[in-house]
Amino acid sequence: MTLLTRRTLVASSALLLPGCDALIENPRARAIAKAAEQATLRGQRLLGQDALAREFSASEISPLFKANGTINPEEPAYQAHAATAFKNWRVKVSGLVKNPLSLSLTDLQNLPARSQITRHDCVEGWSAIGGWSGPPLALLLKAAAVSEAARYAVFLCADTYHSTTRYYESIDLIDAWHPQTILALRLNNAPLDIAHGAPVRLRVERQLGYKHAKYIEEIILTDTLAPYGQGKGGYWEDRGYEWYAGI
């Protein structure tokens, strides 16, 4: 009895493990699993579409804020900007807008800023608390006059991160207009450093870290994600991660 069971167990685990991998890697099975993402998105939007992310006090700020992903873009164009303190850096807003914009760092600095001390949750599992400051994305959307047809804001970045195409991200317009969604220019009362996305990075506080694109050069309003990267809405999304990273 015991022998039979043990033999069955060993045999079944030898069969089971590669079988499990094959099953969960099967594209059709994975498509079924990814249906959960839509359920999560709809569920969380139902519970609090306009809810604000938790904000912290200055005493709770992490002594060191971990930097992840690209921490120093190697691209010569970016390095040239870094060498001149980003004085020629521009952020373009285009696509489905009535007034395309091209803003310098000074333009962005002159807009009213929002400051928020929030928790950054990495998809890997760690959390760091930092104080971010910069103009709300909503101000740019208003100035650009987003057209009715737009559904997403796509962010194109200056880094390529082990890839041949630039890092990019996208959010829907609910998150784009959210008051805590800002283009951060400062971290903990100092200009953003290169490791954390200088000169400008996105903060989209109700989602995981990979949504918070660094080194932003272009913001495109669009009704489809298909033309960007491999069409899944972001660098990590193209590699299987959820587009909605609220969990």
Partner 1 sequence: MASKLVHRHSLIVRLSHWLSVIAVALLIGTGLNIFNAHPALYWGHKGTNIDTGARWLQIGAMRAPDGTLTGQTIIGTASFNTTGILGLSKTASAAPQMIAFPSWATLPSRRNLGLARNWHFFAAWLLVGTGTLYLTYGLLSGHLRRLIPTAKDLAPKNIAHDIKDHLRLHFPKGEAALSYQVLQKIAYAGVALILLPLMVLSGLGMSPGMDASWPVIVDAFGGRQSARSVHFIACTLILAFIAVHMLMLLAAGPFRLLRGMITGWQKVTT
* Minimum distance of partner 1 from residue 204's CB (angstroms): 9
Binding partner 1 (rule: CB under 8 A), the pick from 21, 163, 179, 223 is 21
Contact between 27 and partner 1 by CB under 8 A: the answer reads no
Q: Which of 10, 11, 15, 24 binds partner 1 (CB under 8 A)?
A: 24
For residue 104, state whether it binds partner 1 (rule: CB under 8 A).
Answer: no
| Cα Dmax for the chain | 78
Helix (H) or strand (E) holding 208: none
Q: Cβ 160 to partner 1, closest distance in Å?
A: 19
Query: Per the structure block, which two tokens stand in for 56?
Result: 């912290």
Residues 121-140 vs partner 1: string with x where CB under 8 A?
Answer: xxxxxxxxx-----------
Number of other residues whose CB lies within 10 A of the CB of residue 230? 13
Strands 216-222 and 90-95: parallel
44 sits near partner 1 (criterion: CB under 8 A):
yes
Q: What does each C-alpha distance from 173 to 130, 152, 161 come to in angstroms?
A: 25, 6, 26
The DSSP H or E segment spanning 144 is helix 137-144
189 makes contact with partner 1 (CB under 8 A):
no
Buried b (16+ CB within 10 A) or exposed e, 166-177: bbbbbbbeebbb
Closest CA to 220 of 139, 140, 152, 165: 152
**C-beta closer to partner 1: residue 191 or 246:** 246
Q: Which of 39, 83 has the CB closer to partner 1?
A: 39
Return residues touching partner 1 (CB under 8 A).
2, 5, 13, 17-18, 20-21, 24-25, 30, 32-37, 39-40, 44, 47-48, 51-54, 56, 60, 62-64, 66, 119, 121-129, 205-208, 236, 239-242, 246-247
